[in-house]
Structure 1
Amino acid sequence: MSYPPPPRVPSGPRRRSLLATVAGGALLAGCSDGAGSGEETTAGSPSVVERARARAARDSRGIVERYDAVLAAYPTLAERMGPLRAEAVRHAEAFGETAPKASPGPSDSASGTPGGASPSVASPAPSVTVPATEKEALAQLAAAERALADRRARALLEVPGELARLLASVAAAGAAHAYLLTEGSR
């Protein structure tokens, strides 16, 4: 008795399916607050977890400031970047940071931003330099997202449980942001 040949399996994942897997994993992991993740402070000094959480919050705030600077320079990118900025704000909040939020405006429904928050903020951080063209600005922002995702992935090895899962989720989202920022400009 002969058996039919096994179905042909593709040699590897396609870029879109890989991105969908990463994004799906990030959504499943969620952005929890990480409460009760262990390590208490000793002798008044912050624990490894507290230091890692504070750095992650500052880094998320920095990415939001970069989005704000690019959006202030190139308001035409609001529809494309608004949802990514909103996600960066949620990441900052998950790490305990209060990130800037703009008040809702009349263009919110057209921007595609969840929750009705406007993707732009009145005044960007003065320390962020925006390149001369939209394409360069997107590339610079994508590079910042990629570098931050890499830093967070390395930090996973230094923190326990819940914070490690949160860092993994946010690192995956940051890598997806970098991909979306660069792919849309092609």
Structure 2
Amino acid sequence: MPSYLTAPRSPSGPRRRSLLTGAAGVAGAALLTGCTDSSGTDADERPSAARRLRARAAADSTELLGRYDAVLAAHPSLDARLRPLRTEVRRHVEAFADDRAPASAAPSGSPTASAAPSASAAPSVAEDPKEAVRELAKAERTLADRRAKALLDAPAEQARLLASVAAAGAAHAYLLTEGDK
């Protein structure tokens, strides 16, 4: 009987696995190269949409923090009620302002240097403490609504952060109005 065993032959070219691995590596490198930008800006030096969104959110939170500070300055009797909410807003400023800095970088009761509102931009505060709190609740609600709309077009990571902060703002608005009942 003839032997059907043949000597193993060596491949004349690269193996299929080698080709697939190499192709996946090249495709991955191309995707990473095309999607990342070490400077954080587009090719024409404009900030990316995510950076603009983050900067806008940081500015909005800084403005809201200024409102809290103005109400607390005008109505120190509201300190126990507003201080925890103000602390959360300060954390929102930090979260949006710089994703590399920890949220606990500043002491809990003091505003950060970047979050401290300027004296010229201090918002007006109602003389009646209840009205001042209602205005603060309205500002929280308005900002929460704006953030909820913005998260629809935001990149995934930014959308999660916006959703979380919008939910916190809605809860703040509720807590602020609940005290009036």
**TM-score higher than 0.5:** yes
Q: How far off its partner does 1:143 sit?
A: 0.3
Deviations 1:100-143 (A, max 9, x none): xxx97xxxxxxxxxx4x258xx9874430001201110000000
SS of equivalent residue, structure 1 residue 44: coil
Match of 2:144 among 134, 144, 149: 149
Higher relative contact order (CA 8 A, sep 6+): 1
Per the alignment, residue 72 of structure 1 pairs with 73
Between the aligned partners of 2:118 and 2:45, the Cα distance in structure 1 is: 35
SS of equivalent residue, structure 1 residue 130: coil
After TM superposition, the runs of 4+ consecutive aligned structure 1 residues lying more than 6 A away are none
Q: Structure 1: which 5+ runs fail to align?
A: 1-37, 105-114
Per the alignment, residue 64 of structure 2 pairs with 63
Match of 1:161 among 126, 140, 156: 156
* 8 Å Cα contact 2:66/2:117 also seen in 1: no
Per the alignment, residue 184 of structure 1 pairs with 179
Q: Which has the larger radius of gyration?
A: 2
- 5 Å-filtered alignment, 1:1-186, equals 40-42=40-42, 43-96=44-97, 115=108, 117=109, 125-127=119-121, 128-186=123-181
Between the aligned partners of 1:68 and 1:44, the Cα distance in structure 2 is: 36
Taking only aligned residues, the RMSD between alpha carbons, in angstroms, comes to: 2.8
Q: Structure 2: which 5+ runs fail to align?
A: 1-35
Between the aligned partners of 1:78 and 1:147, the Cα distance in structure 2 is: 23
SS of equivalent residue, structure 1 residue 59: helix
Percent identity, aligned pairs only, is 58
Between the aligned partners of 1:155 and 1:118, the Cα distance in structure 2 is: 29
